[in-house]
Amino acid sequence: MDELERTFIRNLGMMSYAVSDITKQLNEITDNSSKEEVNDNFKLLANKIEEIEKKIYNMKNAMEAVIKQNQKEINKLRLDFENDKRNRENALRRMH
């Protein structure tokens, strides 16, 4: 597993924990708070959720970039393999 994959998995874990924490806070807020406190706390939680959304979006873009790069490398290796194979076949034909 490379560093990007480890970072991706670690960030997903952190976001999962953050969502759990938000859910817990929402339950506590609605149970024990005045209307004004609920509004203030919901605004704070909305900001946390927005941060999580941005992190997910950035991770998605990073993973897409890695996939695209890997696909380019795979295509290059495939072409190199085909060229090597063709060169070997041509060399064998010249030998016979």
1-19 average pLDDT score: 77
Which residues, at least 6 apart from 26, have a Cβ–Cβ distance to it below 8 Å?
42, 45
Q: What pLDDT shows up at residue 29? A: 73
- Number of structural domains in the chain: 1
Local confidence band at 1 (pLDDT 50, 70, 90 cut-offs): low
User: Which residue range forms the structural domain that includes residue 60?
Assistant: 3-95
pLDDT digits (tens, 9 = 90+) for 43-96: 888 888 888 888 888 888 888 888 888 889 999 999 999 999 999 999 998 987
Q: What pLDDT shows up at residue 81? A: 96
Whole-prediction pTM value? 0.55
Angle 76-77-79 from CA coordinates, rounded to 5°: 65
